[in-house]
Amino acid sequence: MRGNRFAADWLPSVVFAALALVFGVVYACIPGEKVYTVYLQLLGGAVAPFVFPVWGALTKKRVPPVLAVIVGCLVFFGIHLGKAANFYVYVPHYDKVLHTNFGFVGAALVYTLLVCWGGDKLKPAGMIIIVVLAVLGLGAAWELVEYFCGMFFNEDPQNVWAAVDKILAAGGDKVINPLWDTMQDLLVTILGSCLFFIAYLTDRAFGGKLFKKIFTVQKNRL
């Protein structure tokens, strides 16, 4: 039993670390100029899921393995596929798909933390309001990260300069607003969290067994 628990705690992190290694090799093999910060992002993404089992080992308070899976999924779609496999370039509207995914898994992350802290006693409406507001805050934090990436790494993750180029190409006509990309990112983030709560309410309608199996944890252990 103890061995099974140990494997459940550490296996997700090991799997996502292995995926980081695989996608590092994939990125190295893709023709073209390499952006070496991608390797740093892959390294950080490999380490991130280990925060939870390491924290549990140090504090002797078991952390729900689903947290490592949630963070690993964020890393997988954002860094492994988005950056290393270059989905941002090759898959149309991948940025919007990614922000929708962020809304879904972000809602799962906040929901898990609330359950850990006894928040499962909340009524469904209260749970939804708290989680959606928290996910919006996380979405805003992501936009700040994109802003600083543009400032320090000469990138355009918020598509501001792309919008300016379109305006100039149209002879100065306001064919696009540079803020649209940011607002669309936040809107699809809300959409992702709504999809999570469709799953949550559907599960409740059928007895709530699936969510209890995935998210039920010992209270106040984090």
Local structure of residue 64 (DSSP, 8 states): P
Between 142 and 189, residue with greater pLDDT: 189
Residue 27 has pLDDT above 70, yes or no: yes
Same domain, 69 and 138: no
Tokens coding 214: 């995935």
Same domain, 83 and 108: no
Same domain, 51 and 131: no
Same domain, 78 and 115: no
Same domain, 63 and 128: no
Same domain, 157 and 179: yes
Last residue of a domain, one of 58, 88, 118: 88
Report the domain count for the chain.
Answer: 2
Q: How far apart are CA 168 and CA 162, in angstroms?
A: 10
Same domain, 96 and 76: no
Same domain, 154 and 211: yes
Quickly list DSSP for 67-118: HHHHHHHHHIIIIIIIIIS-HHHHSTTHHHHHHHHHHHHHHHHHHHHHHHTT
Angle separating helix axes 37-47 and 2-29, nearest 10 degrees: 170
Residue 150 has pLDDT above 90, yes or no: no
Last residue of a domain, one of 63, 88, 113: 88
Determine the pLDDT at residue 99. 87
pLDDT digits (tens, 9 = 90+) for 83-137: 899 888 788 888 889 889 989 989 988 988 888 787 778 888 888 899 999 998 8
Determine the pLDDT at residue 118. 79
Write the Ramachandran bin of 173: left for phi over 0, alpha for psi from -120 to 50, otherwise beta.
beta
Same domain, 44 and 109: no
Same domain, 133 and 208: yes
pLDDT digits (tens, 9 = 90+) for 55-74: 888 888 777 888 899 899 98
Determine the pLDDT at residue 167. 59
Residue 138 has pLDDT above 90, yes or no: no
Q: How wide is the angle at C-alpha 37 spanned by C-alphas 31 and 40, nearest 5°?
A: 110
Same domain, 72 and 121: no
Last residue of a domain, one of 26, 61, 88: 88
Same domain, 195 and 118: yes
Determine the pLDDT at residue 220. 44
Domain that holds residue 31: 1-88
